[in-house]
Chain A
Amino acid sequence: MRAWLTDKVNGGLVRVFLIVVGLFWLVPTVGLLVSSLRSPEDMNASGWWKVFSEPSQLTVDSYRKLLENGDITDSLLNTVLITVPATVLVVVIGSLAGYAFAWMEFPGRDWWFLAVVGLLVVPVQVALIPIAELFGRLGLFGSTLGVILFHVGFGLPFAVFLLRNFFAEIPRELLEAARLDGAGELRLFFRVVMPLGGPAIASLGIFQFLWVWNDMLVALVFTDADSQPITVALQTQVRQFGNNIDVLAPGAFISMVIPLAVFFAFQRQFVSGVMAGAVK
């Protein structure tokens, strides 16, 4: 009886605790969303929570102004133009290498693979100055291609690591059967390995997509005013935070919409990508 009672009380406490923590985690984001839906005048006059007593304050004016702002829309487009190729390239190049490491024979194969794994934890900061100098010489500095290449380079160790391990699990018989049917190396890769690697490729794709979409540092160094993504466009406004809240709040929210949509749509793949990347 007493144990039953303590169980009930503890269960109640656990619930209350988790609800409080959950609110704690939600409030900051709700604050941003509400702030993006108020006029700058209202933002200056009172806290965003006032909106709950005066719902009439809600307005999409900031969003309308933002979408009429050419700099912001251009930078959003740039984000897409950087993220999509950087993701596709990492998946394709990573798959090719992952397959070679898993199923081809060549001297020093395992050592090469271990070397790639070693590169997993290299901080991007190490490459900023050397690559800036290199891109300067090659005329890639400030170009979209430059940023894409950088993201591909730093996305590859994880891609190769993840895909090689996944491809190695493909049953040998499947590959041999396809081989006996006369499939060549390329056909084997595109028709058998890539489709079977679907789950791992999805995890990798989502992971890389979010990684590049959310990046600010690399783009801050390598893009110029014409090629900058949304993160860089927004950070220029941060120095005057109070005055630019009507750009920053809706801008930040718009930049979050796609990652959040991807996150909610592909939670499982995202989680398995995160777990596989726990060493990155």
Chain B
Amino acid sequence: MQSATGAAKAPRHRSVTGTRKTVAALFLLPALVLLGALVVYPIGYSVVRSFYDQSGDGFAGVDNYQALFTDDGIRTALKNNVIWVVFAPTVATALGLIFAVLTERVRWGTAFKLVVFMPMAISMLAAGIIFRLVYDQDPDKGVANAVWVGVHDTFAESSAFPKAHPGRKSPLVAENGGFVTGATVRAGDPVALPLVGVAPDQLPDGAKRAVAARAEPGKVTGTTWQDFTRGKGVGTLGAPDPDELGYAGMRIEAVEDGKVVASTKASADGTFTLPASADGARLRLPASNFTEPYNGLDWLGPSLVTPAIIGSYIWMWAGFAMVLIAAGLAGMPRELLEAARVDGANEWQVFRRVTVPLLAPVLAVVAVTLMINVLKVFDLVFIIAPGSSQDDANVLALELYRKGFAEDQPGVASAIAVFLLLLVIPVMWFNVRRLRREVRR
């Protein structure tokens, strides 16, 4: 910090120039006029305005402040602001601390810091657009869902035929989300399991032209395929036509008395072969073939939108925490850490018992700065939350903008402004007190 703590033994407050008061006034005038007109006057105006009704003509008492706690939009905003103030600064500070401590141990720590600090330099609008892309619902567009679905599908198999269902004259009937043949099957007698309803571009990549299965003695054979050819009345129902594709990879189970006696998967042309044990069973296409594909999380939907935007904020500001904490670390007495290590403390104990307590003042400054900053968060919510969930993501600064400039309720908006100001007054007081000690020397 660029501080005023110099070696000021001589009374440095005495002017070297023997300034006349008029000169001092001229130097100060531009700053004081602008500050008065643009910062101080608005505070007073907002306070007064918050006690008048929306048109500004009638005195409204505390009505506008009452609205803070009764208006649904403002209440959601308040609730979200609490979530923001609790989570965003803590997580960003914690990450900043972890990064600052760990980067001290690698040679390319500076490069890492640069990468994490970089988002500080860009606008919240740009960050908003970046994260709108990241959080896109479609796993083929948004990287968050692409990763999430990838992880999910590694552990849970996805199905290939979500919308398939029996067409006319199909031997299959629905059962528990899957389909089962009405009659039992016999070895040596090829079975046809036609379905319809899978969009052509949704069929598995390897699917080939469906062919009728050949009879094999002692085995149950058959074909499962998309029994549909584009154009009215083209092709035959219940038998594979030249343009029809096999359901490659469809899972088929032979069921007898409710128990699965054999199972297999269809090959690329839709044909399958089951052993003799399937003789006399019914064939079932289990429900796992037909579940909807997993589409990932609705990051910007009503329930996740606030955490998602907080994530983007942390992406922007963890670097700030890291840099300040790293500066604090650099100024820490190394002998203390070494002494603790010599005394047999492991790295975790050193971190927990020495580093963190010594850094406590820095951590506090970082967290408080972030809290003030979070109270004012506007751009990220405005940009990232889509229209459909903006109400759910609402925060005070956004609600102030809406009330003041979209809904023409300047009275309520002023009350929100005064409320925001009241929240930062403790920090204002703290700043002034800290500086007063320095100035007074």
Contact = CB atoms under 8 A, between A and B. Distances in A.
A212 to B, nearest CB: 10
B1 A96 contact: no
Nearest to B320: A274
Given A100-B27, A241-B132, A216 B2 contact: no
A252 B125 contact: yes
A59 interface: no
Nearest to A18: B112
A149 B42 CA distance: 14
A126 B420 contact: yes
B169 interface: no
A46 interface: yes
A129 B410 contact: yes
- Chain A interface size, under 10 / 10 to 19 / 20 to 34 / 35 or more: 35 or more
A116 B30 CA distance: 13
Interface stretch (B72-80, B99-107, B238-246, B250-258): B99-107
Contacts of B260: none
Interface residues of B, number: 108
A256 B421 CA distance: 31
Contacts of A94: 31
B16 A114 contact: no
A152 to B, nearest CB: 6
Nearest to B421: A126
B230 interface: no
B156 interface: no
B39 A130 contact: no
A150 B376 CA distance: 17
A210 interface: yes
B46 A18 contact: no
B1 A276 contact: yes
Interface in B398-418: 400-401, 404-405, 410, 413-414, 416-418
Contact of A118 (B49, B401, B432): B432
A110 B439 contact: yes
Nearest to B122: A256
B365 A278 contact: yes
Nearest to B396: A125
A14 B106 contact: yes
A21 B141 contact: no
A153 B358 CA distance: 37
A48 B118 CA distance: 22
A46 B410 CA distance: 45
Contacts of A217: 378-379, 397, 401
B3 A165 contact: yes
Nearest to A120: B431
Interface in A139-162: 149-150, 152-154, 156-157, 160, 162
Interface string B296-327: 00000000000000000001000010011001
A270 B38 CA distance: 26
A104 B24 contact: yes
Given A25-B115, A129-B49, A106 B130 contact: no
Contact of A210 (B121, B125, B414): B121
A38 B416 CA distance: 43
Interface stretch (B4-12, B184-192, B220-228, B281-289): B4-12
B45 interface: yes
A96 B29 CA distance: 9
Given A18-B102, A127-B42, A129-B414, A169 B16 contact: no
A169 B4 contact: yes
Interface string B19-55: 1010111011011101101111111011001000000
Given A105-B19, A117-B435, A252-B130, A231 B24 contact: no
B146 interface: yes
Interface in A191-243: 200, 203, 210, 213-217, 220-221, 231, 234-235, 238-239, 241
A248 B140 CA distance: 19
A88 interface: no
Given A94-B31, A122-B424, A103 B124 contact: no
A46 B4 CA distance: 56
A179 interface: yes
A149 B400 CA distance: 22
Contacts of B114: 267
Given A93-B31, A125-B400, A153-B37, A259 B122 contact: yes
B16 A175 contact: yes
B410 A97 contact: no
A234 B383 CA distance: 10
A278 B1 contact: yes
B440 interface: yes
A5 interface: no
B361 to A, nearest CB: 12
Given A126-B46, A131-B42, A97 B369 contact: no
A47 B118 contact: no
Contacts of B128: 238
Contacts of B199: none
Contacts of A35: 133
Contacts of A276: 1-2
Given A100-B27, A130-B45, A241-B132, A150 B38 contact: yes
Nearest to B417: A126
A213 B123 contact: yes
Contacts of A25: 115-116, 118-119, 315
Interface in A231-280: 231, 234-235, 238-239, 241, 245, 248-249, 252-253, 255-256, 259-260, 262-263, 267, 270-272, 274-276, 278-280
Contacts of A117: 431-432, 435
> What 8 A-B pairs are tightest by C-beta distance, nearest first?
A153-B38, A214-B123, A263-B121, A97-B31, A130-B42, A130-B45, A127-B42, A100-B27
Given A25-B315, A103-B16, A255-B123, 6 more contacts: A29-B119, A123-B417, A129-B417, A152-B34, A154-B39, A263-B121
12 contacts: A11-B105, A22-B112, A25-B116, A32-B129, A45-B140, A100-B27, A114-B439, A125-B417, A130-B49, A214-B124, A238-B132, A274-B120
